[in-house]
Amino acid sequence: MDLVERSRELFRGLETDVSGGALHVAAAEVGSVISALSCAHHALALRHLDPALALSELRTLYAVCQLESGLVAEERPLTPESQAARAAEFGPLYREDGRSWFVGPPVAAYAAAKLVQQVGPSARDLLECATRQLDAVWGERLPPDTPLPVILHPLEATAYGSALFDAVVESRQLTEWREEAANITRSAIACGLDPERALRVGHPFVVEDPIFCGWLLLGFEETARAWELLGEPDLVRKLRIRANVIAEGAAERLWWEEEEIYGGLDRQREAPLRAVTAGGLVLAASRTLLAGGGARRAVDRHLRPSASPLWRSTGISVAPIESDDTPDPDPIPWRANGISAATCYWGHLALIHAQRIADARIAREQLERLTDNAGFREFYDAFSGAGSGCGLEGGYTWPTLALEMQAAEQ
């Protein structure tokens, strides 16, 4: 069965009805939780299978997860049991209405803009939701003294346990990390998820993160292109100005010259967060930053097929691949030696925008090979290619991003 048919079958098995709209959960193992990040990735893949279903995915997501402010809650459990289970792991994550206090990178806005570019004015309502989301991040998460948004919990990077946060979240074992994350949850809620107040009262996690900043920048770029197609020059101008502000801030504050990649910044200590991770490649996919030169250096150094620390013969990993014969008894998934569809997609997007199509094709083919051999899984071992994480019970949706990757190459 080819990728298209395998993807159709997977999505059919994971479709669910929420408040009268259709969307998909990422895997059977998380079937009772709506994830904004997963829905955004689903829309990117589904638009090559069934654009109407992709539109429904995002419309339903915005209907059930967008807050009055315009921010989009990163997740919303569908049952009291799943809500209790998540809260037991990470603390009191949810508002009274069930939506999470925390947000994630605005990938949904990016996906909405790509859909509008595909289907035209009939999806204008979706683009309006996406623009509200980007405006809300700009209004709610930018401290008054700096040009970059901050995240207030490691879950908002959607790469929890990342080595980038080692100086802020000191736990190295998954159980301990979750306990520390629960404490950060309580602190963030106590300061009202307000960046200025968080800095003033000493909230321990106030971070300028390359994944979050990268997707905000990509969202501004693509929504500007979509509004341009719909003939709204004032909106285009506003969004491009904001894209330039984010790009200039990232180049000044997050660029790590020694390793030629984007890192993070701990705002509480005003200290750079230095670790080579695939998250640093999200900003490198920005057309605005690629035009300036730094992002291209990141692509040239870290996206050399089978030759860069992040990219070996099996695929693009979450962190530099290391040989370790001693297995960790309580591992954090987002560490070394793990390949995910997300990291393959980030690298592929940067390569496409840098016009290195042949190398992008290699990244996509590696992901397809992993799915052929190990199925649609959340992670793959960088050495053996074996699958791990979600997806054992029928498949995990994110590897269907290979459909988006295929289309971009054409």
> Are residues 23 and 132 located together in one domain of the fold?
yes
Domain count, the chain: 3
> Are residues 101 and 156 located together in one domain of the fold?
no
At residue 47, the pLDDT reads: 98
**356 phi and psi angles, rounded to 5 deg:** -105, 75
At residue 332, the pLDDT reads: 73
Do 26 and 390 meet the contact criterion of CB atoms below 8 Å apart?
Answer: yes
> Are residues 56 and 195 located together in one domain of the fold?
no
> Are residues 290 and 364 located together in one domain of the fold?
no
> Are residues 390 and 374 located together in one domain of the fold?
yes
Q: Please give the residue range of the domain that contains residue 61.
A: 1-140
CA distance 149 to 253: 12
Of 97-111, 161-175, 266-280, the poorest mean pLDDT is in 161-175
The number of beta carbons lying within 10 Å of the beta carbon of residue 374 is 18
Q: Is the pLDDT at 43 greater than 80, yes or no?
A: yes
- Smallest Cα–Cα separation from 310: which of 346, 285, 286, 353? 346
pLDDT above 90: percentage of residues in the chain:
82
Q: What's the mean per-residue pLDDT of the chain?
A: 94
Tokens, residue 28: 């059977």
At residue 402, the pLDDT reads: 98
Do 334 and 343 meet the contact criterion of CB atoms below 8 Å apart?
Answer: no
> Are residues 127 and 254 located together in one domain of the fold?
no
- Smallest Cα–Cα separation from 250: which of 150, 147, 165? 147
Q: Estimate the crossing angle of helix 51-65 against helix 36-46, to 10 degrees.
A: 160
- Smallest Cα–Cα separation from 108: which of 155, 152, 143, 70? 70
> Are residues 32 and 169 located together in one domain of the fold?
no
Residue that is last in its domain, among 266, 300, 334: 300
Q: What is the CATH number of the domain that holds 203?
A: 1.50.10.10
CA distance 90 to 101: 12
> Are residues 136 and 172 located together in one domain of the fold?
no
Q: What three-state secondary structure class fits 144?
A: coil
> Are residues 180 and 276 located together in one domain of the fold?
yes
**Each residue of 311-326: pLDDT tens digit?**
989 999 999 877 655 5
Predicted TM-score (pTM) of the model is 0.96
Do 279 and 210 meet the contact criterion of CB atoms below 8 Å apart?
Answer: yes
> Are residues 277 and 236 located together in one domain of the fold?
yes
Residue that is last in its domain, among 260, 282, 300: 300
Residue that is last in its domain, among 140, 164, 193: 140
pLDDT above 70: percentage of residues in the chain:
97
E strand residue ranges, 38-112: 75-77
At residue 258, the pLDDT reads: 97
At residue 328, the pLDDT reads: 62
In angstroms, the Cα distances linking 189 to 185, 219, 278 are 6, 26, 29
**Each residue of 328-379: pLDDT tens digit?**
656 677 776 889 999 999 999 999 999 999 999 999 999 999 999 999 999 9
CA distance 243 to 254: 15
> Are residues 148 and 293 located together in one domain of the fold?
yes
> Are residues 47 and 119 located together in one domain of the fold?
yes
Tokens, residue 248: 């200039």
> For residues 284, 288, 292 and 298, what is the CA-based torsion angle, rounded to 10 degrees?
0
Do 391 and 378 meet the contact criterion of CB atoms below 8 Å apart?
Answer: yes
**385 phi and psi angles, rounded to 5 deg:** 80, 5
